[in-house]
Chain A
Amino acid sequence: MSENMEEMQEIIQDFLIEADELLEELDEDLVRLESESEDEELLNKIFRAFHTIKGSASFLGFEKLTELTHKLEDVLNRLRKFEIKLDSDMMDAILAGVDKAKAIIEAIKEGEDPEAVDIEDNIKELARFLDENYQSDTSKTSVSEDEQEEELTEEELIKAQEEEIKEEEKLMEEQKEESEGEKKIDDIDAEIERLLKQRMEEDRKRRMQKKLQQQQQAAEDKQQEEKKEDREHKEQPKAAAKKPTAVAQKKTKPLVEQTIRVDVERLDDLMNLVGELVLGKNRLVSVAAKAEEKFNGDEVVEELSEVANQITLVTTDLQMGVMKTRMVQIGKVFNKFPRVVRDISKELNKEVELVIKGAETELDKSVVEEINDPLVHIVRNAIDHGIEPPEEREKLGKPRKGTIILSAYHEGNYIVIETTDDGRGMDPEKLKQKALEKGLITETEARQMSKEEAYALIFKPGFSTAERVTNISGRGVGMDVVKTNVEKLNGIIEVKSELGKGTTIILKIPLTLAIIQALLVKVTKEYYAIPLVSVVETVRITKDDIDKVENKDVLRLRDNIIPLVYLGDTLGIGNNKRTLDGKEIYVVVVAVAEKRIGLIVDELIGREEIVIKSLGNYLTNIKGISGATIMGDGSVTLILDVANVVNEAAIISTNIEDHLIELYEKDKPIALIAARKEEIREQLAPQLEEKGYKVIFAHTDKEALDVACEHIADLVFVDLGIYINDGYNLAKALRSMPAYKTVPIIGISTDGTFDREKIKEARISKVVFAPIEEEELNQALEAASKKNILVA
């Protein structure tokens, strides 16, 4: 019993998925039908879609859905027999019917009662077109035939479907004859015909197995074959003729479906595992590199490098493979738009043609789900604010019908989605005026704004240029929703516009969200990963390149004024940190949604593929940080939440001079003692103070680096055994900072040992042994002050 239940559940699941697919296609096909109402192929396709849903629905006992699709099917039947002609009213009724069918499907999915959906109005509306008055000759046949189907037993249903097949065969036969009139079937066609027959035979056999799933499959196969068949016939005579628009372009599925459905969760798991693998690979590569450095020429090392290379290749392929299984065509989103455009333009009395390009462009499933809403907003806006009413367009010498182009293409690791309209375009001055009126910006801000910045005003919450509140624009939601959604995806928005010619909104979104390319940077002593998709460019400037506007640092980069902030300041770790020498300042220009800023960092480390990991439940909502990743050496690097950093940057202001070493004034030379043991400090401090030094302490290496950024020391003592890393590493880290390139660093050995190699590597000036005698200290100071890097 329970097995049956399970099977039933599965059948319903399959039905839902198929119905979803069919309804989605229907939306598109119906809108197309409006302009090509004579297209028999299309009519048949739509008819069949309704028929398929009806058949399955009746089998599964969804009465309302059966009744509704039955009526829709009847209307289509009359249409395809050319007994009635399609008009706008009829189309509205059909579309409303499709919407109701969707609602019923949704109810089934949600576990609600599908029979509770009210379809009375739709039925009445549709019945109008079946009325005698609406027709010339009788169509009793189809009605009575379909009525029979209403209360079908399973066997009858099967029979009925066989009828249907025969009918369709006949139909095909007709079509064949038609085309034969023009052209004899060639060998290929004959072969296809043969295969088709064979296939149908199989179908029929399978049908007997009383499995609905198979019935559906067969219907689908049939449909596809037929479609293909039709194409073959149609396209051969006019092979040169291109498809009219991209909308008409339809992917042809293979004859036999060679796919399986996989639970998304399983794919997510797989993706996570690949993530771990990438981390392991990174680590292996870094170990191999280290080994090579250390034991150059060793056979084993060479073999290790080889293995590392191979693993890198395999991992990359595997990652691509797994990613590809999660890829879906953006057509899945785009296909909804003919309907959306139709509805909106109808409501606003505008004439709009939608052109879709690059519907086959693929992107990750998780991203697809997120971009639908932003796109609907953008398209709505384009029609509402962009496209002029037909009369106005005519006056302007434009075609009555406005055009909206939706296009998608790949660019490196991103997908770019453009929405272009040929409407009014945007007037930067008007936008500023509006924003001023609403108090969103100040006069000065308005004056300083570039064209691009003015366009970006449309993304401010509460901004609307609509003169009157329409049904579409007046819902209190605007482009700020678009912005939030795109930010969430780490994407970028660009707006281009030309007054009177139209507007283009460009979305740039990462292809996937789990494994990303990132730019590693260093600020003070910390490393951060900036998602590469947010990075526009990196530039190296000097302190003379920095201008001031309203006491804020800005950089003039080509024609743009880019506000500058020190990354440490936005994260709250920059206070009093002096790490820049003013000769080489690195700026990472990042963009989030429509905003652009320049982040000043101490160092650019390089590009790396990183796996995003969460910081866990204890550290949720950390400002400026979106997650962490594990590097090849096992250390944890935080990933910047660029959107947050950019927003934060708007509030704070950086004074670059606060971070420059050169402009740092101190009244006494400073000595930094980084030692864990109290004795060392207690012993050294008085001696140094006597020599006129101001002495500062640090317990750990981390603390030492912090202090070293705050006060530029003139002399550093490093306990070689300091926790957590040893003193050698601390010295090495200090040497990498511009301020400490030549400062004497004296290593203290507490147990009489030291590592000559490491001392050389860390460029430690001198090594002394604790306890330090006065004389010894003097010697060390003298030696170190020669500014030569000495080896003890």
Chain B
Amino acid sequence: MNAKDVDLFDKSLALNEELEEELAKKGKKTGTIIMKDEYEQVVGFILNKELYGIDILDVEEIIKPVDYTYVPNTRPYVMGVINLRGKVIPVVDLRVKFGFVAKPITEQTRIVIINHDEFNVGFLVDKIEKVYYVEKKNIEPTPPNIPANIEKYVKGVGKMPKKIITLLNIEELLKEGGSLYSKSGSTEVAKNE
């Protein structure tokens, strides 16, 4: 095995007791060298009591809610724009986007700043869990019981020893844009109660 191919988990980051457990179950000792490309690193967060994940490479940073400026003529899920160190970044309420009931901001609410291609968008989520390592072979296509309005944003479902995590498809999420009159002309407007 080439040294370049292996990557030791950073323990301080990986506080992932489930993975440890899993490894233990497989008869491996904790702290063993494992192949990085067998796992996908995702930022796990809670939305409407469910666990979702976004590829860590798409996440620029995670911040606490800040004061935002409302932008007229945008879709209901666009909360507004914020100033992130001189950059103007739109913030999307994922709850509204997925058709859940909007919930007031709490102390646990966070904004996940996404940096994907030329897009810079913040997603408002209920709570950040942690970074999960999802074994690639345990990622399955979207199960049929996922609601239709969320389904298209889902890349797959990752099975972990104790939980399952819904992995989001960033490209699909960003594609629609936030303008009420954007080029896609899609009439879909997330339900907002």
- Residues from chain A with a CB closer than 8 A to the CB of B71 are 615, 619, 622, 625, 638
| The stretch of A157-165, A260-268, A413-421, A627-635 that contacts the partner chain | A627-635
- Residues from chain B with a CB closer than 8 A to the CB of A615 are 71, 81, 88, 90
**Per-residue CB proximity of A605-637 to B under 8 Å, as 1/0?**
000000001111111111111001010001111
B70 touches A573 (CB 8 A): yes
A621 touches B179 (CB 8 A): yes
A621 touches B182 (CB 8 A): yes
- Residues from chain B with a CB closer than 8 A to the CB of A725 are 67
**Per-residue CB proximity of A45-56 to B under 8 Å, as 1/0?**
000000000000
A571 to B74, CA, bound (A): 10
- Residues from chain B with a CB closer than 8 A to the CB of A571 are 72-73
- Residues from chain A with a CB closer than 8 A to the CB of B68 are 636, 724
- Residues from chain B with a CB closer than 8 A to the CB of A637 are 69
Complex partner residue of B118 from A617, A624, A628, A635, CB under 8 angstroms: A617
Across the interface, name the chain A residue whose C-beta is closest to B118. Answer: A617
A724 to B80, CA, bound (A): 14
- Residues from chain A with a CB closer than 8 A to the CB of B73 are 571-572, 622-625
B104 touches A620 (CB 8 A): no
Given contacts A526-B70, A619-B179, A622-B72, A636 and B83 within 8 Å (CB-CB): yes
Given contacts A573-B70, A630-B83, A635-B83, A616 and B105 within 8 Å (CB-CB): no
A620 touches B179 (CB 8 A): yes
Given contacts A526-B69, A614-B88, A630-B88, A619 and B78 within 8 Å (CB-CB): yes
A636 touches B81 (CB 8 A): yes
A200 to B119, CA, bound (A): 59
- Residues from chain B with a CB closer than 8 A to the CB of A676 are 104-106
A700 touches B104 (CB 8 A): yes
Given contacts A622-B73, A624-B73, A616 and B119 within 8 Å (CB-CB): yes
User: Which residues in chain B, 70-101, are within 8 Å of chain A measured between CB atoms?
Assistant: 70-74, 78, 80-83, 86, 88-90, 92
Across the interface, name the chain B residue whose C-beta is closest to A703. Answer: B104
Complex partner residue of A724 from B66, B74, B177, CB under 8 angstroms: B66
**Per-residue CB proximity of B173-193 to A under 8 Å, as 1/0?**
010011111110000000000
B65 at the interface (CB under 8 A from A): yes
B121 at the interface (CB under 8 A from A): yes
Given contacts A615-B88, A628-B88, A636 and B69 within 8 Å (CB-CB): yes
Complex partner residue of B65 from A614, A621, A724, CB under 8 angstroms: A724
A636 to B74, CA, bound (A): 16
**Per-residue CB proximity of B149-193 to A under 8 Å, as 1/0?**
000000000000000000000000010011111110000000000
A724 touches B105 (CB 8 A): yes
B69 touches A623 (CB 8 A): no
- Interface residues of B, dominant DSSP: loop
User: Which residues in chain A, 710-732, are within 8 Å of chain B measured between CB atoms?
Assistant: 723-725
A614 to B119, CA, bound (A): 12
Across the interface, name the chain B residue whose C-beta is closest to A698. Answer: B104
- Residues from chain B with a CB closer than 8 A to the CB of A279 are 86
A702 at the interface (CB under 8 A from B): yes
A620 to B178, CA, bound (A): 8
A226 to chain B, nearest CB (A): 53
**Per-residue CB proximity of B43-83 to A under 8 Å, as 1/0?**
00000000000000000000001111111111000101111
Complex partner residue of A636 from B65, B88, B104, B180, CB under 8 angstroms: B88
- Residues from chain B with a CB closer than 8 A to the CB of A618 are 90, 92, 119-121, 174, 177-178
Across the interface, name the chain B residue whose C-beta is closest to A725. Answer: B67
- Residues from chain B with a CB closer than 8 A to the CB of A573 are 70, 72
A276 to B119, CA, bound (A): 21
B16 to chain A, nearest CB (A): 31
Across the interface, name the chain A residue whose C-beta is closest to B176. Answer: A618
A622 touches B74 (CB 8 A): yes
Highest count of chain B CB atoms <10 Å: which of A617, A619, A636, A723: A619
B90 touches A636 (CB 8 A): no
A400 at the interface (CB under 8 A from B): no
Given contacts A276-B86, A676-B104, A638 and B119 within 8 Å (CB-CB): no
- Residues from chain A with a CB closer than 8 A to the CB of B74 are 619, 622
A760 at the interface (CB under 8 A from B): no
- Residues from chain B with a CB closer than 8 A to the CB of A326 are none
- Residues from chain B with a CB closer than 8 A to the CB of A699 are 104-105
A177 to B86, CA, bound (A): 67
B120 touches A616 (CB 8 A): yes
- Residues from chain A with a CB closer than 8 A to the CB of B179 are 619-623
- Residues from chain B with a CB closer than 8 A to the CB of A628 are 69, 81, 88
B183 touches A621 (CB 8 A): yes
A637 to B82, CA, bound (A): 10
Complex partner residue of B88 from A613, A723, A724, CB under 8 angstroms: A613
A105 to B78, CA, bound (A): 50
A573 to B73, CA, bound (A): 9
Given contacts A619-B81, A620-B179, A621-B181, A638 and B69 within 8 Å (CB-CB): yes
**Per-residue CB proximity of A464-506 to B under 8 Å, as 1/0?**
0000000000000000000000000000000000000000000
**Per-residue CB proximity of A374-396 to B under 8 Å, as 1/0?**
00000000000000000000000
B65 touches A723 (CB 8 A): yes
**Per-residue CB proximity of A566-582 to B under 8 Å, as 1/0?**
00000111000000000
Given contacts A619-B81, A619-B90, A572 and B177 within 8 Å (CB-CB): no
List 12 additional contacts besides A617-B177, A618-B178, A723-B104; criterion CB under 8 Å. A618-B92, A618-B177, A619-B178, A621-B183, A623-B73, A623-B180, A630-B88, A636-B82, A676-B105, A700-B105, A723-B105, A725-B67
On A, residues with C-beta under 8 Å from B are 276, 279, 526-527, 571-573, 613-625, 628, 630, 634-638, 676, 699-700, 702, 723-725
Which 3 A-B pairs give the minimum distances between C-beta atoms?
A699-B104, A571-B72, A623-B73
